[in-house]
Structure 1
Amino acid sequence: MKNNLLLLVTCLCLSVSANAQKKDKKNKVALDLIAAEPDKELAGETFNRWSIEADFGQSKGSKPYTDGYYGNNPGKFFGGIMINHVGVGARYMFSPKFGMKMNIGIDNLQEQNHSGSLPFQMQHHQLSAEGVVNLIRLFDFQKQAGRFGLLFHLGGQISRMTPQMGPQSKTEWNGGLVAGISPQFRIFKNVSVFADFIVNSNIRQHYNWDGVEFSDPKNNLAGSLYRASFGVSLALGKGKIHGDWAIIRDENAAKLDSLNNRVGEIEELMNDSDKDGVPDYLDQEQNSIAGVAVDTKGRMVDKNNNGVPDDLEKYVNNTVKENSTAATTAATENAVLQLINEGYIAAYFDTAKANPNAASASNIGFILNYLKNNPNRTVDITGFADEIGSTAYNNKLSSDRAESVKAILVRAGIAESRITITPRGEDDSVDKQSDWARRLVRKAIFTVK
């Protein structure tokens, strides 16, 4: 009688442990995490600082003009569209937000068709050096902007004006300011297209834009020129993406993120799933029973190696008496049958596998011992599969699983005539999206008759 109750308690323990996940080798992982070097990604390592540009478009001298001359039809800002500007340049960014650029441009200014102006032609060469501000980065708008960008540039310029028509043909050098704004759009990793809208101001000018020399040589003219152009920017460097869009990580922020990640991983390793006082990364038996003594590796103490933890064995010895009645024996028998027939004793399988996993050996052994001790009993084995895969595949898999468990019992000495199998196919009683829930239905259960 004492042995029967001991067997009952033992089977309860084993049925709980059958569903536990196998122990991961976390000791080494924890040491690796602690000893790992910090990230070596530093700010600016992959930041493309250089880019070259080329553009073309339309430029117009706004003022001054001699009476009878104008660059476009009065009352119309652009008049007709004419490509009369080409330019090339190079830009260097000191940081993701600020940089400088140099540009060389050639403008050929002349009257346009239907403008009503007297004919003229002025060749204008310009060299500029400007500071550049990446407004998207300055205002921290990168995420919302996506592939779009916006640059502002301002600086100084020197230019040369050479009339191509009329009696005046000498060359004049001027200087002044230039400012502009450039919307951008990245089309490839290191290539972007842009539009550039600038205002050019000469503070020393003696020619009108039509090529006629100003009548008062003692006074300087203030000349203005507007330009609208389109161009292409190519980033140079080892970075995988154009510098204006590259993700720049601050060195300290990167180290802090790495440290936070490691702390989180170590905290996870220090979890104690079964609340036995041994952290999971050291625990070799993460399903120990609450209140049962464990060793430093989380294993339930079993000094006599009989398969029953000492604390449970002591409890049974103290509570079960030798003079138990026949009624108690019958109750124990019924309790064992209830455990089996209600699915507490089951064999479990890994994904797409027909052979039971190693953790199921004790449960199958329990059924084997029961059938040997009760030769008048038969057993029905019912196989199941989870919902992953086709219905036809899962029907066959559930049958194969039941057959596999039957074969184990037959080889262990149970007559084949005492065993029947029933494939049930998919068990859809759990959440299909949960990996842990699906583990519980990849099984074979027993019904003793």
Structure 2
Amino acid sequence: MRKLILSTLLLGVASLTFAQKDFNRWSLEVNGGFNKAMGPLTPGYLSPTLNIGHIDLGARHMVNEYFGFKGNLGLGSFHEVNGESPEFTTKYLTLTAQGVGNVGRMMNFESFSKKFTLLAHLGAGGGKMSFEKQVRTTEDDYYYIITSGITPLFRLSDRISLSGDISVNVNGRQTYTFDGNAYNADVQPDPLQNPYVHATGTWWTGTLGLNFYLGKAEQHADWYIAADKYATKVELAEAIDGIKDMLKDSDGDGVSDYLDKEPNTPTGARVSFNGMTLDSDQDGTADHLDKCPFLPGPSSTGGCPVEEITEQADYLRKAIEEGYVNVYFGFDSSKPLSYSNSSAAFVANFLQKNPGINLEVKGFADELGEENYNIKLSEKRAKAVYDLLISAGVDSSRLSYKGYGEDTSVDKSSPDARQMARRTSFEIK
């Protein structure tokens, strides 16, 4: 087990130097949807809340998994509310450069979904409005624009994602109202002439579209999850040495030193997932010395009650059914941890001594990862222990197994509690 962990960790560390080459950076974006001209508008002129008439065309480059830049071309038109406002048509075109942040990666959205992330963008550029059916002007209005927004992404494949976007835009030095029938000023000059006040205008867009990912790598930066990076060979060597030290098992109890809270466990002791000697009945006699490990008794009788036990099966059954006997697993693994094999041996011995009893092996997983994946993982764990019992001589007709998925009874934020959830337990039938 330790060799497998060491090989995996060494492979991961060795690949970190090249991690930046493992993802694509470029994407093309096409979106279409609604706009809304908030103001200014000439008194009596109204713009629909959801006006279909906006298109975005963009190209994005991600510097890394968290930050990038994009250029965006936006075009569309504003119209009146049919039947409630005088007619107007204003066509616009904007060109902006924006910075992009992958908020989903910054906030570890992958802990609950690997198909959803959220981008935020902020930038500036310029734009032009052209007016039709207007009374006061036929000239174009040029302005600068500041834009910001959020873009949820849902991954459809490694090459395409579905995107939605809501952006708020502020025009600066906007000379005319959005309908083009008045100057952008509180007081209209008389006779009519440009007041050159150059006030602002505010509008927003809401769109749906697709992102197309370009490049030879398997994933785009939007979805790539990188490990910590080591820049030099010295740091790489230090990391490898640290891993080796972490995987040492000085007392030979099957729990690596970095997880072992009792580094001097007696030889042959039955231990918990964190290397602590077990005393299941809490009678002061450790399980490996206790002749009755699940019934309290004095040390003078080997940890058994003073009165003679006539039905061994009764207290063994009680230990199994009350969850004292479990087989534990590492993160995302269906191979029992070595310290936990004694529990499987205990159950096999119990079944061999009690041929009239049948048993179900019940697999569980912690709450990290997707629910469907955890169902399959818990079933693999149950099957692994089922196979152990059969290899120990228990007839398969007396056994069954089932994966129950996530154990939600533990504290998801506690690493120790999550380890307790990675287990199989047993139910006597």
TM-score (norm 2): 0.51
After superposition, the Cα gap between the structure-2 partners of 1:441 and 1:163, relative to the gap in structure 1 and judged at 3 Å, is closer
Out of 17, 20, 25, the residue aligned to residue 44 of structure 1 is: 20
Per-residue deviation, 1:38: 6.5
What letter is aligned with 2:15? Answer: K
Question: Contact between 1:47 and 1:248, CA under 8 Å: does it hold in 2?
Answer: no
Tell whether 2:208 aligns with 1:230: yes
What letter is aligned with 1:53? Answer: E
After superposition, the Cα gap between the structure-2 partners of 1:262 and 1:190, relative to the gap in structure 1 and judged at 3 Å, is farther
Distance 2:123 2:71 in 1: 10
Question: Contact between 1:127 and 1:157, CA under 8 Å: does it hold in 2?
Answer: yes
Per-residue deviation, 1:37: 11
Tell whether 2:121 aligns with 1:153: yes
Counterpart for residue 96 of structure 2: 128
Question: Contact between 1:57 and 1:84, CA under 8 Å: does it hold in 2?
Answer: yes
Tell whether 2:377 aligns with 1:433: no
Distance 2:226 2:174 in 1: 45
Out of 67, 73, 91, the residue aligned to residue 104 of structure 1 is: 73
Out of 224, 229, 244, the residue aligned to residue 246 of structure 1 is: 224
After superposition, the Cα gap between the structure-2 partners of 1:259 and 1:231, relative to the gap in structure 1 and judged at 3 Å, is farther
3-state SS in 2 of match to 1:160: strand
CA offsets 1:8-57 (integer angstroms, 9 cap, x no match)? xxxxxxxxxxxxxxxxxx9xx9xx99x99972343312122211101001
Out of 18, 38, 62, the residue aligned to residue 38 of structure 2 is: 62
Per-residue deviation, 1:176: 2.6
3-state SS in 1 of match to 2:104: helix
| Structure 1 or 2: more helix by fraction | 1
3-state SS in 2 of match to 1:119: coil
Question: Contact between 1:92 and 1:100, CA under 8 Å: does it hold in 2?
Answer: yes
Counterpart for residue 21 of structure 1: none
After superposition, the Cα gap between the structure-2 partners of 1:440 and 1:263, relative to the gap in structure 1 and judged at 3 Å, is farther
Question: Contact between 1:191 and 1:242, CA under 8 Å: does it hold in 2?
Answer: no
Identity %: 29
Per-residue deviation, 1:271: 7.3
Counterpart for residue 171 of structure 2: 202
After superposition, the Cα gap between the structure-2 partners of 1:70 and 1:36, relative to the gap in structure 1 and judged at 3 Å, is closer
Distance 1:117 1:198 in 2: 25
Structure 2: runs of 5+ lacking an equivalent: 190-194, 255-384, 396-429
Alignment of 1:353-372 (within 5 A): none
Tell whether 2:52 aligns with 1:83: yes
Per-residue deviation, 1:105: 0.6
Counterpart for residue 184 of structure 1: 153
After superposition, the Cα gap between the structure-2 partners of 1:175 and 1:96, relative to the gap in structure 1 and judged at 3 Å, is same
Distance 1:39 1:123 in 2: 55
Distance 2:102 2:158 in 1: 18
Distance 2:65 2:47 in 1: 39
CA offsets 1:294-336 (integer angstroms, 9 cap, x no match)? xxxxxxxxxxxxxxxxxxxxxxxxxxxxxxxxxxxxxxxxxxx
Per-residue deviation, 1:263: 5.8
Distance 1:65 1:272 in 2: 78
Per-residue deviation, 1:439: 6.5
More contact order relative to length (CA 8 Å, sep ≥ 6): 1
Question: Contact between 1:176 and 1:204, CA under 8 Å: does it hold in 2?
Answer: no
After superposition, the Cα gap between the structure-2 partners of 1:106 and 1:136, relative to the gap in structure 1 and judged at 3 Å, is same
3-state SS in 2 of match to 1:249: coil
Question: Contact between 2:109 and 2:117, CA under 8 Å: does it hold in 1?
Answer: no
What letter is aligned with 2:202? Answer: S
Alignment of 1:416-431 (within 5 A): none
Counterpart for residue 110 of structure 2: 142
CA offsets 1:98-135 (integer angstroms, 9 cap, x no match)? 11111001021111324x01000001100011111111
Per-residue deviation, 1:221: 2.2
3-state SS in 2 of match to 1:83: strand
Distance 1:54 1:432 in 2: 52
Distance 1:152 1:177 in 2: 14
Question: Contact between 1:39 and 1:258, CA under 8 Å: does it hold in 2?
Answer: no
3-state SS in 2 of match to 1:222: strand
**Where in structure 1 do 4 or more consecutive aligned residues deviate above 6 Å?**
35-38, 268-273, 439-442
After superposition, the Cα gap between the structure-2 partners of 1:165 and 1:262, relative to the gap in structure 1 and judged at 3 Å, is same
Report the number of matched residues. Answer: 246
Per-residue deviation, 1:83: 2.1
After superposition, the Cα gap between the structure-2 partners of 1:36 and 1:170, relative to the gap in structure 1 and judged at 3 Å, is closer
After superposition, the Cα gap between the structure-2 partners of 1:37 and 1:246, relative to the gap in structure 1 and judged at 3 Å, is closer
Question: Contact between 1:136 and 1:145, CA under 8 Å: does it hold in 2?
Answer: no
Tell whether 2:144 aligns with 1:175: yes
Distance 1:136 1:37 in 2: 23
Distance 2:93 2:197 in 1: 23
Distance 1:264 1:206 in 2: 68
